[in-house]
Amino acid sequence: MLQNIGDTLKNQRWLAYILLGVLALVFAAWGAYGMVDLGFGGGAYAAKVNGQKISSNEVTELWQRQQGQLAQLFGGELTAEQRELFQQRLLDGQIRNLASTQQAQRLGFRVSDAQLLRAIQAEQAFQIDGVFNAQAYRSRLASAGITETAFEADLQRTLVSEQLAAAIGATEFFTPAEAAYMLGLQDEQREVRYLLLQPEAFAAGPAIPEADIEAYYNANAAEFTPPEAVKLAYGELALADVARTVVVSDEALRERYERARDSYMEPERRRARHILIAVDASTDDAKAKAEADAIHQRLQQGEDFAALARSSSRDSSTASEGGDLGWAARDTYAPMPAFADTLFALNEGQISAPVKTQFGYHLIKLEGIRAGNVRTFDDVRAELVVQLRNELAAEAFGNRQEELQGRIERGGAQLAQLVQEFGLRTGEVERFERGAGGLPLGSDAELNREVFSDRVLNQRQVGGPVPLGEDRLTVVQVVEHFEPQVQPLAEVRGAIVAALMHRRGSEQAGAAAQSALAKLQSGTAYEQVARDLKLKPEAARFVDRDDPELPVELRTAVFQTAKPGAAQRGTIALEGGATALFEVTAVRNQPASEDPQINALRAQRELQRYALRDVDAYFSEVVRTARVTKNPQAFALQQ
């Protein structure tokens, strides 16, 4: 049905209004939108903002979802410092969100149910063929483990904050002179040449003293303390494995076909054109009827229907197409019964007399008929096999999960027994860390809590079953427990020596850069300075503010120097330990575009950048002046 609507009514505004009205009624009947506070009740909290709580469960679950991606980004394992940094960033983000919402509400910003409905309907994830679908909405949220009320409450808070942000951003503006100046800055290029002094080239020297190694080791104990972890054995049940064992009988297929026979009926479809004479503020009913009658008379005299539609129809979305409505079934026009009745009573090529609907008077021409038919059993057999197999597999999967749950709850079960009894696939996780999890099971929060529960960790009972998505579950048993303890110095000595040598190389590279800068300032040629550093001098070239070949710190430093009357020189430390020695010798501007639209668009983008800066500054001040209390154990409370 949705595909039919999408194909038939894509550009028919007058009928789309009806459809949106029907969807709104369905959505309104489906449920009201409650302001449900996500996790702000209960005892344990991660932070308080002006007395309102952010639950520890909320931030812990957010962290569990994020840390797997972070671990992959940083090579499979986060250091203690990285974990703490990203956890605090996450918590600060939640504090900012809540403080922003509170401020917006204090200032009187509100989001109505109608605004919320429009925002939900506009989300592409909840649409089928570009049209909001309530079932898709429910299923997408369910698959993400989010309740409808929780999602709607969170979206409502977000929309309120966005209203305030939009109001702040709207206060930013540029005068024409300011816009021209800003574009000039953006178009500026600077001629630069530079040398990169890498730490490795300057790290040579005497062996690192043992006392320095020990001092580094003692000062950075957390860096050498892996988090608590276990070695896990697990058994896994996947829906796909269950589905492969399901046999669908021909009898069951035929029974399903007969039971759902009506759904395989393809209704008669008709292609029509129409001319609409609208009843509106400028045309009353009598005038519209008289105009429609006059057009009907002209059609009876042989004038071309499509040509009259182009010149006379008030339906702006179809008039240019000669009034073409495309192919559609009868139920497409259900909101206009008189229109549907007339169209499906016409013979092919016949033109109707004026038909009254809530939009005005229609003249309808039937262009063609596609007869309805019923798809045969053989036509749909493959679809039925997939459908029934999936249903039976899902039912069997659910039953096996319940049986597995009961077997574990009775106690005494060993993993090997469960594997054999329930046909589970087996595997091991060499290191499953508290909070971070471990591949291939991932970092699911529920699994993490189960693994490190007293029953599983200390009593060594089988844990689970824990769902890992909609089509997979696992049971686990701890094989070995690794307490968090500092690694012996002997094991990490090599890494410490490498870190200290890198630090020495970075410091000496910085010192060498400063010495080379002094030579440049005293008149030594750039090429000679490069040779003294055993580096190849690069030719000077013009770069702009977004040049990707320059390190970010160097690019920033180059454009922060004064416009050179003479060469401007400097050094800048780069991320990773290198130091750049640079020389800026000239400034120029790229020719401005002669297209005023391009210039206006660029100015608008720059204005948006400044508006975002203002919004960020405003909300930062909101957080600064709020009463914020952080729980230092925020991420440990749910572990």
Is 594 part of any domain? Answer: no
Domains of the chain: total: 4
Look up the domain containing 126 and give its range: 31-172
Is 639 part of any domain? Answer: no
Task: Please say whether the beta carbons of 102 and 460 come within 8 A.
Answer: no
Q: Are residues 495 and 568 in the same domain?
A: yes
Task: Please say whether the beta carbons of 94 and 149 come within 8 A.
Answer: no
DSSP string, 9-61: HTT-HHHHHHHHHHHHHHHHHH-------TT-SSS-EEEEETTEEEEHHHHHH
Q: Are residues 221 and 88 in the same domain?
A: no
Is 260 part of any domain? Answer: no
Task: Please say whether the beta carbons of 477 and 415 come within 8 A.
Answer: yes
**Vertex 533 angle, CA 531 and 537, to 5°:** 50
pLDDT (0 to 100) of residue 391: 85
Q: Are residues 35 and 138 in the same domain?
A: yes
- DSSP-derived letter for residue 332 is G
| R_g of the chain computed on alpha carbons | 35
Lowest mean pLDDT among 124-138, 361-375, 559-573: 124-138
Q: Are residues 75 and 101 in the same domain?
A: yes
Q: Are residues 142 and 204 in the same domain?
A: no
Supply the angle between the helices 13-30 and 134-143 in degrees, to the nearest 10. Answer: 50
Q: Are residues 61 and 158 in the same domain?
A: yes
pLDDT at 355 over 70: yes
- Write the CB contacts of 127 (distance below 8 Å, at least 6 apart in sequence): 121, 133, 136
Is 4 part of any domain? Answer: no
User: What is the CATH classification number for the domain harbouring 308?
Assistant: 3.10.50.40
Is 579 part of any domain? Answer: yes
| The domain boundary residue, chosen from 450, 482, 514 | 482
Q: Are residues 391 and 283 in the same domain?
A: no
Q: Are residues 140 and 272 in the same domain?
A: no
The reported pTM is 0.48
Q: Report the share of the chain in percent with pLDDT over 90.
A: 38
pLDDT at 557 over 70: yes
Q: Are residues 361 and 388 in the same domain?
A: no
Is 121 part of any domain? Answer: yes
| The domain boundary residue, chosen from 456, 482, 508 | 482
Task: Please say whether the beta carbons of 482 and 227 come within 8 A.
Answer: no
Is 616 part of any domain? Answer: no
In this predicted model, what pLDDT tens digit does every residue of 513-542 receive, in sequence order? 999 999 999 999 999 999 999 998 888 999
pLDDT (0 to 100) of residue 72: 61
Q: Are residues 428 and 321 in the same domain?
A: no
Structure confidence at residue 12 as a pLDDT band (50, 70, 90): very low
pLDDT at 334 over 60: yes
Give the residue with greater pLDDT, 522 vs 612: 522
Q: Are residues 107 and 206 in the same domain?
A: no
Is 212 part of any domain? Answer: yes
In this predicted model, what pLDDT tens digit does every residue of 74-94 receive, in sequence order? 655 667 778 888 888 888 988
User: What is the CATH classification number for the domain harbouring 95?
Assistant: 1.10.4030.10
| The domain boundary residue, chosen from 308, 343, 371 | 371
Distance CA 205, CA 462 (A): 55
Cβ neighbours, 10 Å, residue 485? 10
Q: Are residues 282 and 344 in the same domain?
A: yes
